[in-house]
Amino acid sequence: MSRILIIGGSDAGISAALRARELDSAAAVTIALADDYPNFSICGLPYFISGETPDWRALAHRTEFPGIAILRGHTATLIDPSTKSVTVEVAGTKAEKVLSYDRLIVATGATPIRPELPGAALDGVYLLHTMADSFAVQQRLTDHAPEAAVIVGAGYIGLEMADALTKRGIKVTLLSRTATVLPTVDASFGRIVGECLQRHGVTVLTSTSASQIESAVRGSGALLSVADSEGARHAADLVLLAVGVRPASDLAQAAGALRGVNGALTVTRQMRTNLPDVFAAGDCVETYHRVLDKSVYISLGTVAHKQGRVAGENAVGGQRSSAGAMGTQSLKVFDLAIARTGLLESEARAAGFDPLTIEAEMFDHKADIPGAKLMHVRLTAERGSRRLLGVQIVGDSRSEISKRVDVIAAALFQGAVVDDLNDMDLSYTVTRPMLFAGMRETIGGLLFFRDARRGLSVAAAAG
């Protein structure tokens, strides 16, 4: 009977455990979990804060783990590959345990970045990455009934929390150090997202960072004051720091595991580290990018889940390889959905491609059918090879934007060229010929497509 020990119980850890038990029912699978919340959705935390998911228990992807031993409140402090053991501290006690393994899977995930900002440790300043974080924010909302909040960071969590807190009746100021919010999409789309935030009452300050957080002057009515890089001050009862995450790779690195991009653990496509019988998966590791054909760092639950399955299978003797990822992702902000897959044009150019991007606005289905909504599409391909490189779509959240991006993601996964999009047998309600046929002609030098709003043919010189 093989002993499989897993450190971490989020997407990668749980999927690894389930896959290992699925293939080898005799395996003794144990998960050492630092907190008390296995398999909870980090992505769902803003919906818990907003009240749209009132019961935090609903955030659990799964609550039953047959045949898997979950050691809650067991924080790993040392990996010893020479003795094949992991030392853990038990929460609420001074006790330590030593857990032995035949195969180890490191699934420690990522940790949120707390910027070195004066005042970042003050009462009322929060991160949002764990269930404990969400409980702390929720307690603040309950105890202090805040009227104003400042969010530092305009990525996924920052935008979703701007939405969540606004729904709670709180006036939100969002500080974005980049020129547009959501830097994972092109600037033109970032501006669309910024305009959406402003329409819903969020104050958006771009090219602006926080410089200091202080306790507010007594009698001001607020608990905190945030100074920004432009010299302005913003009163707040709650401050959220959402400036990104870094891979939690220190534990494995201390045991001798190699690190690469962004400090993430270096793994093979079989999710093996350089340590004997030690695998790793999820937000703590590098990810093979199918379009770039190299390792990058991608912190996404969907990627972590698939990597975990590979690690779990190979830990019980399998030979599975990770197919890699392309950064396919989506989010909803108020009534807007934003999704992307593959490369932005700037990323493609930096990687040595000769990219061409076209942008168009079109309806999500035939304009003569009631309920048609406009959406914006940016499609990127390579001129010479005609290879698809990526797409971004922004539109009404009722337009199934993420599923439209999934069409391109499936094509990218198979290495499709632009012409293939016109031949795919898709439902007629999926908008495709206007933009995709246009891209095909653009490769030849001119862009021709049909304007969805006016029914006119448009020609423009290719850039």
Q: With 60 as the cut, is the pLDDT of residue 452 above it?
A: no
- Residue 62 has what pLDDT? 86
Q: With 90 as the cut, is the pLDDT of residue 437 above it?
A: no
3-state secondary structure of 340: strand
- Residue 349 has what pLDDT? 97
- Residue 361 has what pLDDT? 87
Tokens 């499936």 found at: 410
Tell me the per-residue pLDDT of 276-326, one tens digit each, with 9 for 90 and over. Answer: 999 999 999 999 999 999 999 999 999 999 999 999 999 999 999 999 999
Of 241, 273, 303, the residue that ends a domain is: 241
| DSSP 8-state symbol, 261 | G
In a domain, 330, yes or no: no
Label residue 455 by pLDDT band (50, 70, 90): very low
Of 241, 268, 292, the residue that ends a domain is: 241
Q: With 90 as the cut, is the pLDDT of residue 10 above it?
A: yes
Whether residue 197 is found in the same domain as residue 253 = no
Whether residue 178 is found in the same domain as residue 148 = yes
- Residue 446 has what pLDDT? 31
Whether residue 304 is found in the same domain as residue 376 = no
Q: With 80 as the cut, is the pLDDT of residue 423 above it?
A: yes
Whether residue 158 is found in the same domain as residue 70 = no
In a domain, 394, yes or no: yes
Whether residue 371 is found in the same domain as residue 429 = yes
Whether residue 342 is found in the same domain as residue 455 = yes
Whether residue 447 is found in the same domain as residue 343 = yes
Of 177, 209, 241, the residue that ends a domain is: 241
In a domain, 449, yes or no: yes
**Nearest to residue 19, comparing CAs of 309, 305, 320, 271?**
309
In a domain, 185, yes or no: yes
Tell me the per-residue pLDDT of 150-204, one tens digit each, with 9 for 90 and over. Answer: 999 999 999 999 999 999 999 999 999 999 999 999 999 999 999 999 999 999 9
In a domain, 274, yes or no: yes
In a domain, 326, yes or no: no
In a domain, 296, yes or no: yes
- Residue 427 has what pLDDT? 77
The mean predicted confidence, pLDDT, of the chain is: 90
Whether residue 259 is found in the same domain as residue 178 = no
Does residue 110 or residue 435 have the better pLDDT? 110
Whether residue 297 is found in the same domain as residue 414 = no
Positive or negative torsion for Cα 158, 161, 163, 165 = negative
In a domain, 440, yes or no: yes
Separation CA 148–CA 240 (nearest Å): 11
Percent of the chain with pLDDT over 90: 79
Q: With 70 as the cut, is the pLDDT of residue 444 above it?
A: no
Overall number of domains in the chain: 3
The answer, as to whether pTM is greater than 0.95, is: no
Whether residue 358 is found in the same domain as residue 457 = yes
* Number of C-beta neighbours around residue 387 at 10 A: 19
Whether residue 132 is found in the same domain as residue 99 = no
Domain ranges, residue 144: 125-241
CATH code: domain of residue 275:
3.50.50.60
Separation CA 36–CA 113 (nearest Å): 22
Tell me the per-residue pLDDT of 350-385, one tens digit each, with 9 for 90 and over. Answer: 999 999 999 988 888 777 778 888 899 999 999 999
Tell me the per-residue pLDDT of 85-105, one tens digit each, with 9 for 90 and over. Answer: 999 999 989 889 999 999 999
Whether residue 139 is found in the same domain as residue 232 = yes
